[in-house]
């Protein structure tokens, strides 16, 4: 049986971290493992900056690129004593592809450009890690994921063509795993015309799930800098607790409401083939972490642990209230117009509520908001409120709500049997 491992940016952020990844993988050397790797920590953000600088014709694109290159070469210098190791050249060649792009004037296809530039992050990180593993005698075959994961040409949010992808992966990968690992890029994919696409930010988890699905894997493991899946973000909730087990359903709800622990698209392919997802710490690789799957509720000294409350806090939210100017109902036709505009400009709604002639949504900040407002402004009057927090509590109790809302101004509240969502002003500064 095949296992899929995913290592994110934090796990390969410097030479010591890459050595640690080697130490983890060494324990699996006799097993069949496909390894999915993201770009080095913060690299994708830096490549986004380079793309923006280039697109806006600012002068600093080259300088930003040079900084990013040196950061990668510093790590290589620490990992490889022989300076004539071919990996130095390979990394240089991958970065040259960005140099070439920067030499021409930018086209007006931002999303396309973004994917061609940003994808270099994963190309170089995977070359570095696989060269290092081979250098340490862990035989590893580097693969270009763009030959396997096929999407349409929705740049920055490629939609996976499952049939071709499954055929590519299932026919070519298993035969390679007899005496070596296969290592490839997360987040990237390719179109039928061989253009590079990406799967959306943080999409490497999704790539691991795609490989898990197509290979009917025994399990998928995401190696992270936290102990497993916690029931709240420890930056805001100091009493956060780790789940030992979690059902697919709870995990997908958590990711949907904005917990950043796993990419929301990761769960569906795994659930569809009943493949367990392990979330484990690369800092303490011997600890158990969390397993997500089709599990019976686990009884932990009498209490059902699966029903531990889950808290998700999203900060810097905007509340938009949209009211029809002519007193027409906010019903099917108006809603479909509003949704059309929001979806066209990638505005992600985190909560919505409607009344007779008004509609409220809580959204993340988005660079297109002024355009959105302009389009809606003709028929609707728009009120916005910024700097808000959205707190979602699953398996809430009245005392939990009380605990986290006391002294706060609640602007919008929505309750279902399992979940309450609260839009609040000036909730806490740091810790609850
Ligand atoms: N490197 C990509 C990002 O930062 C993909 C990932 O890390 O999952 O969004
Ligand atoms: Mg990441």
Q: pLDDT of 39-78, one tens digit each?
A: 999 999 999 999 999 999 999 999 999 999 999 999 999 9
- What pLDDT is attached to residue 303? 39
Rounded to 5°, angle at Cα 85 from 81 and 87: 115
Phi first, then psi, for residue 302 (nearest 5°) are 95, -25
pLDDT at 306: 52
- Please indicate whether residue 428 or residue 64 has the higher confidence score (pLDDT): 64
The reply to whether ligand 1 has any atom less than 6 angstroms from the CB of 253 is no
Q: Is the pLDDT score of 178 beyond 70?
A: yes
Instruction: Ligand 1, residue 121: give the atom nearest the CA.
Output: 1
**pTM over cut 0.85:** yes
What does the alpha-carbon distance between residue 99 and residue 54 come to, in Å, rounded to a whole number? 11
To 5 degrees, how large is the angle CA 22–CA 260–CA 419?
140
The model's confidence at residue 366, banded by pLDDT at 50, 70 and 90, is confident
Closest ligand to Cα 122 = 1
Task: Measure 206 CA to ligand 2 centroid, in angstroms.
Answer: 11
CA distance 4 to 133: 17
Q: Which is the closest atom of ligand 1 to the Cα of 9?
A: 7
Report the half-sphere exposure of 112 (CA within 13 A, side-chain side).
10
Other beta carbons less than 10 A from residue 60's beta carbon? 13
CA angle 104, 108, 110 (to 5 degrees): 95
How many whole angstroms from 38 Cα to the centroid of ligand 1?
6
Phi (first) and psi of residue 310, to 5 degrees: -120, 130
Tokens representing 346 are 């990638």
428: CB partners within 8 A, 6+ apart: 236, 389
20, 67 contact by CB (below 8 A): no
Q: For a substitution probing ligand 1, which of 9, 12, 114, 209 has the most ligand atoms within 8 Å of its CB?
A: 9
User: Tens digit of pLDDT for each residue in 264-318?
Assistant: 999 999 999 999 999 999 999 999 999 999 976 555 444 345 578 999 999 999 9
């Amino acid at each position: 049986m095949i296992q899929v491992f995913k290592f994110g940016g934090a796990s390969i952020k410097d030479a010591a971290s890459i050595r640690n990844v080697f130490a983890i993988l060494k324990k699996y050397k006799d097993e069949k493992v496909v390894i999915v790797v993201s770009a080095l920590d913060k690299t994708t953000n830096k490549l986004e900056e380079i793309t923006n600088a280039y697109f806006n014709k600012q002068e600093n694109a080259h300088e930003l690129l040079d900084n990013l290159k040196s950061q990668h070469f510093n790590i290589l210098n620490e990992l490889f004593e022989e300076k004539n190791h071919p990996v130095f050249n390979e990394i240089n060649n991958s970065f040259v592809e960005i140099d070439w792009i920067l030499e021409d004037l930018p086209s007006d296809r931002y999303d396309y450009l973004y994917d061609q530039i940003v994808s270099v992050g994963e190309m170089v990180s995977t070359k570095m890690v696989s060269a290092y593993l081979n250098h340490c005698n862990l035989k590893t075959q580097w693969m270009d994921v763009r030959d396997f994961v096929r999407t349409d040409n929705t740049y920055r949010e490629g939609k996976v063509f499952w049939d071709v992808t499954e055929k590519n992966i299932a026919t070519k990968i298993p035969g390679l795993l007899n005496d070596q690992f296969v290592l490839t890029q997360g987040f990237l994919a390719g179109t039928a015309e061989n253009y590079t696409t990406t799967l959306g930010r943080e999409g490497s988890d999704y790539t691991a799930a795609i490989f898990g699905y197509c290979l009917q894997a025994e399990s998928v493991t995401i190696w992270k800098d936290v102990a497993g899946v916690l029931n709240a973000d420890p930056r805001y909730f100091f009493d956060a607790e780790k789940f030992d087990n979690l059902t697919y359903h709870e995990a997908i709800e958590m990711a949907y409401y904005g917990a950043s622990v796993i990419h929301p698209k990761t769960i569906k392919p795994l659930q569809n083939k009943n493949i367990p997802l392990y979330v484990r710490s690369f800092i303490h690789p011997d600890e158990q972490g969390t397993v997500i799957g089709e599990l019976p509720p686990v009884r932990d000294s009498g209490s059902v642990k699966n029903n531990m409350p889950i808290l998700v806090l999203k900060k810097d939210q905007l509340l938009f209230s949209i009211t029809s100017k002519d007193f027409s109902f906010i019903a099917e036709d108006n809603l479909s117009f509003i949704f059309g505009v929001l979806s066209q400009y990638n505005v992600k709604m985190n909560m919505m509520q409607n009344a007779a002639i008004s509609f409220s949504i809580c959204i993340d900040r988005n660079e297109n908001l002024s355009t959105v407002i302009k389009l809606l402004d003709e028929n609707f009057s728009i009120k916005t409120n910024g700097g808000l927090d959205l707190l979602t509590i699953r398996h809430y109790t009245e005392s939990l709500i009380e605990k986290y809302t006391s002294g706060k101004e609640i602007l919008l509240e929505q309750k279902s049997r399992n979940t309450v969502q609260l839009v609040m002003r000036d909730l806490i500064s740091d810790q609850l």
